[in-house]
Chain A
Amino acid sequence: MSVTSGVSTGDTAEQQTQASAPERKRGASLHRGEGRRGIYLVAPTIILLAAVIGYPVVKAIVMSFQKDPGLDKATGMFVSGGNAGFSNYTHWILQRCGTASCPPGTLGAEFWDSVGTTFMFTLATVVIEVLLGMWMAVVMNRAFRGRGLLRASVLVPWAIPTAITAKLWYFIFAYDGIANRVLHTHILWTGGEWASRFAIIIADVWKTTPFIALLILAGLQVIPAETYEAARVDGANSWQRFTKVTLPLVRPALMVAILFRVLDALRIYDLPAILTGGGGGTGHATTTLSILVVDQIRGGFNSAAALSTLTFLLIFLVAFIFVKFLGAHVVQTQQRQQKGTI
């Protein structure tokens, strides 16, 4: 990859940006007022992000404490809004509609089910994608010939819009479709409870594994050949070389890839929404949190806002756990990659 040529220049850039104060004086004309210029230059981005992300988030939180207009389920009176306290949140978390439990079949009764579905999809897809992606990356790293072909084919699933991917797999998994023909089965892929979940997992694995493989490959290519040579001389067999050399060295890149992938999987929407019409099986076998939010929007903004805030908090919590306890050092790894080591 063209990045290798950047190693030397990347290092100099690093020395320059992190140079101690006296050294920095050498390029004084360029570095004078650097702090203020930096702020000015990032300002448009920060302002735009504040407008398109910051404002909606704050607004969603404010909305989530407002009552939705409608019949108050407790009193039977019509309310046009007002302060709701935490009732929108307790509605979802405790699955309570008014004073009673939400009846089965209503959106209110689906919160924990969709949390479970979302995490099930996340766990299944990430585990399969990382293992398969690891294997792909190792194969690609070892390939002499056909690197161009490999890279080209790996980019194809990534480039196809997820919505189109969902339609494509909808066709493949049709009752008379190629999947049932090839497997000689008669599975209702988009209708059965677990079949529809598997269909989504398979489609997601196809779409995302090649991308994971690319990220892992970038990590693999940094490992110097001498390291393997030394391990081989010391008598390590191929499995030992993989577990004792490759895995520890590729770990930082791998952890970041997994973190991004997990956060991406937690917000999964396109595939279940299109491939199984948001339901699948009994009607909510593939309802993820994102789908639940979209379903709720027309049934009350403020309640939907509470749900989307909960979704956001959940994803934030997962990211926090990853960075705090599992050592996914996003910024550092990002920086290291940007300095041209990858």
Chain B
Amino acid sequence: MASTTAVGGRGGLASAADRPAMRPRRRFTFAAARSYLGIVIIVVFCLAPFYWMVVTAFRNVGYTFDTTPWPTHITLDNFRTAFSTSLGNHFGRALINSLIIGVCTTILAVAAGCFAAYAIARLDFRGKYLVLGLVLGASMFPGVALLTPLFQLFTNVHWIGGYQALIIPDISFALPLTVYTLTAFFAELPWELEEAAVVDGCTPGQAFRKVLLPLAAPGLFTTAILAFISSWNEFLLASELSNDKTQPVTVAVAQFTGSQPHQEPYTAVMAAGTIVTVPLVIMVLLLQRRIVAGLTAGGVKG
């Protein structure tokens, strides 16, 4: 598996950075060819299904099962169908719902999580590892174990149909995610600056606010994106704890109905899927380095 020539192996491993030391290669070796083949296989594996979704989204509904690998019979009708409410779908409203739920969850999780992450990364206090263990344990917690009691509770207090019934359960996974990702980012900060600020007369609170927070901003932003994505992608809890008015996009797309019963409106679903996915993909591509750093530093959620 790991057969490498001197060229292929050494340079690639030598540097963990994104720009491995390039050296002029004269020979096009067998191993280099194999490496390129591997790259092509991975890229095709990852992108082909996504590509197929986008192609289908733009394809005329009469040609749903056309297998031409490039876009044919291009139309925007599917997007119109996706947003149309005449068939009982409320995709537009669901998009807004997901946005509201995601933003609220993210704000709450980051607001609480950044203090905890600061304490874990920076301070020495009793029970620190217990807290870290609790947070990690919470992140692996099966959502289904929350579902029954919350469903009963929210039904009793008539919260089903309110956004709080969806935001509160989302905290259960967004907050642990926020804490450990931020802890990883905070651990990398140049803490000497904080010491220096205190020596110069700042209180620890001021040092945190005025010196470290600006430095931590990119990490906070990345963490916020990760928390938002986790909430945007949630399905299990939302499918039971929402109603027609509050359902997020994942639930709306999963329950998409077509004009005829038992006939799946594939192209419209693919159009809806494209709308849900493409903003995420663009965001992820723009921030890929930071997101990979955040994921691998505390990578839990798939």
Q: Which residues of A contact B (CB under 8 A)?
A: 1-6, 9-10, 12-13, 16-18, 24, 27, 29-31, 34-39, 41-42, 44-46, 48-49, 51-53, 55-57, 59-60, 63, 135-136, 138-144, 146-164, 166-172, 174, 176-178, 181-182, 206-211, 213-215, 217-218, 220-223, 225, 228-229, 237-239, 241-242, 246, 257, 260-261, 263-264, 266-267, 269-270, 273-274, 289-290, 293-294, 297, 301, 304-305, 308-309, 311-312, 315, 319, 330-331, 334-335, 337-340, 342
Q: Are A297 and B16 neighbours in the complex by a CB distance under 8 Å?
A: no
Of all chain B residues, the one with the shortest Cβ separation from A306 is B148
Please, could you name 12 A-B residue pairs with CB atoms under 8 Å apart, sorted by A?
A1-B292, A1-B296, A30-B204, A35-B126, A42-B120, A48-B171, A53-B141, A161-B249, A172-B49, A217-B296, A220-B13, A297-B240
- Residues 96 to 129 of chain B near chain A (Cβ within 8 Å): 108, 111-113, 115-116, 118-129
Q: Are B235 and A162 neighbours in the complex by a CB distance under 8 Å?
A: yes
Q: Helix, strand, loop or mixed for chain A's interface?
A: helix
Interchain CB contact (< 8 A) of B125 among A34, A171, A207: A34
Interchain CB contact (< 8 A) of B124 among A6, A31, A52, A149: A31
Q: Are B144 and A293 neighbours in the complex by a CB distance under 8 Å?
A: yes
Known A37-B125, A142-B9, A337-B184: A246·B2 in contact at CB below 8 Å: yes
Interchain CB contact (< 8 A) of A238 among B2, B113, B115, B175: B2
Q: Are B187 and A338 neighbours in the complex by a CB distance under 8 Å?
A: yes
Docked pose: A57 CA to B133 CA in angstroms: 17
Q: Which residues of B contact A (CB under 8 A)?
A: 1-4, 8-14, 16-18, 20, 22, 35, 38-39, 42-43, 45-47, 49-50, 52-53, 56, 64-65, 67, 108, 111-113, 115-116, 118-129, 131-138, 140-153, 168-169, 171-172, 175-176, 179-180, 183-184, 187-192, 194-195, 198-199, 204, 207, 229, 232-233, 235-236, 239-240, 249-251, 253-254, 256, 264, 266, 269-270, 273, 276-277, 280-281, 283-285, 288-293, 295-302
Docked pose: A316 CA to B28 CA in angstroms: 51
Q: Are A9 and B299 neighbours in the complex by a CB distance under 8 Å?
A: no
Interchain CB contact (< 8 A) of B50 among A6, A160, A161: A160
Which A residues are CB-close (under 8 A) to B188? 3, 5-6, 9-10, 340
Of all chain B residues, the one with the shortest Cβ separation from A300 is B148
Q: Are A152 and B276 neighbours in the complex by a CB distance under 8 Å?
A: no
Q: Are B144 and A239 neighbours in the complex by a CB distance under 8 Å?
A: no
Docked pose: A6 CA to B188 CA in angstroms: 5
Docked pose: A176 CA to B266 CA in angstroms: 11
Of B46, B116, B172, most A-chain CB atoms within 10 Å? B46
12 more contacts with CB within 8 A, not counting A1-B296, A42-B115, are A3-B296, A13-B191, A45-B115, A52-B169, A60-B149, A144-B8, A163-B251, A168-B53, A223-B13, A241-B2, A311-B145, A335-B132
Known A160-B50, A297-B147: A214·B292 in contact at CB below 8 Å: yes
Q: Are B297 and A337 neighbours in the complex by a CB distance under 8 Å?
A: yes
Q: Are A42 and B140 neighbours in the complex by a CB distance under 8 Å?
A: no
Known A156-B47, A171-B266, A267-B143: A342·B251 in contact at CB below 8 Å: no
Known A30-B204, A215-B299, A319-B140: A144·B11 in contact at CB below 8 Å: yes
Nearest CB of chain B from residue A210's CB, rounded to whole Å: 6
Q: Are B147 and A1 neighbours in the complex by a CB distance under 8 Å?
A: no
Which A residues are CB-close (under 8 A) to B128? 38
Which B residues are CB-close (under 8 A) to A37? 119, 123, 125, 204
Q: Are A161 and B277 neighbours in the complex by a CB distance under 8 Å?
A: yes
Docked pose: A279 CA to B145 CA in angstroms: 21
Q: Helix, strand, loop or mixed for chain B's interface?
A: helix
Docked pose: A12 CA to B251 CA in angstroms: 47
Interchain CB contact (< 8 A) of B297 among A170, A261, A338: A338
Interchain CB contact (< 8 A) of A161 among B119, B235, B299: B235
Which B residues are CB-close (under 8 A) to A290? 142-144, 236
Which A residues are CB-close (under 8 A) to B276? 161, 164
Interchain CB contact (< 8 A) of A49 among B45, B52, B138: B138
Q: Are B146 and A52 neighbours in the complex by a CB distance under 8 Å?
A: yes
Q: Are B290 and A2 neighbours in the complex by a CB distance under 8 Å?
A: yes
Q: Are A294 and B4 neighbours in the complex by a CB distance under 8 Å?
A: no
Which B residues are CB-close (under 8 A) to A148? 18, 288
Interchain CB contact (< 8 A) of A12 among B142, B146, B191, B277: B191
Nearest CB of chain A from residue B12's CB, rounded to whole Å: 4
Of A178, A257, A273, most B-chain CB atoms within 10 Å? A178
Which B residues are CB-close (under 8 A) to A294? 144, 147, 236, 239-240
Which A residues are CB-close (under 8 A) to B190? 9
Q: Are A270 and B277 neighbours in the complex by a CB distance under 8 Å?
A: no
Nearest CB of chain A from residue B185's CB, rounded to whole Å: 9
Docked pose: A6 CA to B246 CA in angstroms: 43
Which A residues are CB-close (under 8 A) to B18? 1, 147-148
Which A residues are CB-close (under 8 A) to B253? 163-164, 167
Which B residues are CB-close (under 8 A) to A3? 16, 188, 293, 296-297
Interchain CB contact (< 8 A) of B131 among A30, A46, A164: A46
Which B residues are CB-close (under 8 A) to A267? 142-144
Known A38-B124, A159-B280, A174-B264: A153·B47 in contact at CB below 8 Å: yes
Q: Are A242 and B149 neighbours in the complex by a CB distance under 8 Å?
A: no
Which A residues are CB-close (under 8 A) to B112? 44-45, 48
Which A residues are CB-close (under 8 A) to B17? 1, 4
Q: Are A45 and B175 neighbours in the complex by a CB distance under 8 Å?
A: yes
